[in-house]
Amino acid sequence: MSQLNKSSMKINMLISAVLASLLAGLSISSSAFDLQGTLKDAAKKQIEEQLGQSTNSQQATTPDNQSATTPTPADSTAPDSVSSTIATTAETPQATINWKNPSTAEEIALGREITGNLLGAAPLVKNEALQKYVNSVGRWVASQSERPDLPWHFGVIESDDLNAFAAPGGYVMITKGLYKKMSNEAQLAGVLGHEIGHVVAKHQLKVLQKQQLLNLGAGFLNKKIGKDNKIISQAIGSGAEISARSLDKSAEFEADRLGLSYATRSGYEPFGLTDILQLLGQTGKNDNSVALLFKTHPHPDERLATLGNSVGSKLDNIKNGKTLENRFYQLK
Amino acid sequence: MRPLNRLLIAVSLPALLLVNLSMAAETGSALKNDTMRVEPFADAKVTGSFNRGESLEILNKKGAWLQVKTKKNTGWVRLLSIKRGSSGASNQAAGALAVASGRAGTGQVISTTGIRGLSAEDLKAAKFNEAEVKTMESYTQNANQGKQFASAGGLKTVPFANLKAVDGGSK
């Protein structure tokens, strides 16, 4: 037994070492796989949609204004040397997932799959006016982020829980329960801003990448996967499990900072997000509606204090931010 | 009977007013050690300080500042240094703060038991729903539409650099 444990420990250590080297970008020869079906179609569709919109969106947004403050770590913008060599093995560049450095189309396809699974657990609230309103607010806030050209999608989902979710590529969902706690547009902008921050900083994507590179290092994925080549499903695990997982605390704090920054840049009163953190902090720990949220996030008090440290005096001169409670879509 | 009624009203009226006044004040607690100032400005004179965890009373709100009262002092402090509501209880009335932020009458915190929850198990067991994704994508607004929506609400972009992480954390 102990022999066995020892050897499995060795293997684990080996995997870690391989993973570390992969992540460090020291040696990686082939990190992409043939891909058909879901990804190809979804990516194509998204790209077409995005291209269709891009003539409008590029004129309307001013992404370069904020480029000096881009929060995305260097690795996400690293030169795409791996995919260029790998892509030639497939018919189209979209037919691979380059786990070392996924393309935007790959990122969107992954996010779409996760979103579809999440919507399988909690469907959209059937209220077009509400959904369009939330998309309008979210779109405006996202336009002040470092990734204004993603095809941003927002949705309010049927759940009494207090929670919100982001999936790679620009998918953001908020529960009906959390929406009903809000009383103005600045609060909505702040919460959506937090989720937009996760997407911009690629937090969920990085979790998937790490896991896949780990699998690669262990050689688990080095075989064909039957006729239904469900690379994506395999990557994201079962259902929307990824959405129930915790990110690093530091990722949540970063999303808080970004969310507040985006909402402030958008012209909203800067304390919308912290209003909601205050409300969440007053929700009892034993309240079922925050069970998952509290499990996967630092306590709201800690988030408020950490955000407060970053804010310092920086909001002292921000005046005339709007709360717009008069046009906030009231959901009964 | 009549004089007695009158007397009762006369006696109880001030008491009722007092109750209302005390309800208008909100309790809170300090999220960190901080100093209070005589006015809501960073360079205003310091009136005192409080320690993390100390409970206090929230008297007023002005922009990014709250006027608070500790056992010893009263003064203005940046609002992110304060947790609203008493630390133990879950549902503190929003009180003065709600009035100050223009949302009196709404936004009360009421704990709801999750009639339709979304647990980790629910998420794990979820099955892909293509129709719902399509519906969600159908609501998408493009950047121009977002801009128009913002203009309609009088929203204007404000120059503001992304906040940065500060070493030292919340301790």
Residue A271 within any structural domain of the chain: yes
B37, B140, B164, B167: best to mutate for the A interface, most A CBs within 10 A: B140
Give the containing element (helix H, strand E) for A155.
strand A153-157
Give the containing element (helix H, strand E) for A172.
strand A171-175
How high is the ipTM of this complex? Answer: 0.72
Would you place residue B72 in the very low, low, confident or very high pLDDT band (cuts 50, 70, 90)? very high
Q: What is the pLDDT of residue A218?
A: 65
Q: Whole-model pTM above 0.80? A: no
Residue A29 within any structural domain of the chain: no
Whether A183 and B103 have beta carbons less than 8 Å apart is answered as yes
Residue B67 predicted with pLDDT over 50: yes
- Write out pLDDT tens, residues A212-268: 887 776 665 544 444 344 667 767 777 777 787 778 899 999 999 999 999 999 999
Residue A5 within any structural domain of the chain: no
Would you place residue A8 in the very low, low, confident or very high pLDDT band (cuts 50, 70, 90)? low
Residue A61 within any structural domain of the chain: no
Would you place residue A317 in the very low, low, confident or very high pLDDT band (cuts 50, 70, 90)? confident
Mean pLDDT of A101-113: 93
The full set of domain ranges for chain B reads 26-106
Q: Under an 8 A CB cutoff, do A159 and B140 touch?
A: no
**A313: alpha, beta or left, given left = phi > 0 and alpha = psi -120 to 50?**
alpha
- Number of domains composing chain A: 1
Q: What is the pLDDT of residue B160?
A: 97
- Write out pLDDT tens, residues A160-218: 999 999 999 999 999 999 999 999 999 999 999 999 999 999 999 998 888 888 777 66
Within an 8 Å CB–CB cutoff, is residue B109 touching chain A?
yes
What tokens does B4 get?
């007695």
Residues 6+ apart with CB under 8 A from A7: none
Residue A8 within any structural domain of the chain: no
B78, B139, B145, B147: best to mutate for the A interface, most A CBs within 10 A: B139
Q: B26-106 domain in CATH 3.40.50.2000?
A: no
Mean pLDDT of A316-329: 94
Q: Say how far apart CA B91 and CA A121 lie, in whole Å.
A: 30
Mean pLDDT of B132-140: 98
Q: How far apart are the first and last CA of chain B?
A: 63
Structural domain for A116, as ranges: 34-48+88-311
Which residues of chain B make contact with A267, given a CB cutoff of 8 A? 150, 154-158
Would you place residue A41 in the very low, low, confident or very high pLDDT band (cuts 50, 70, 90)? low
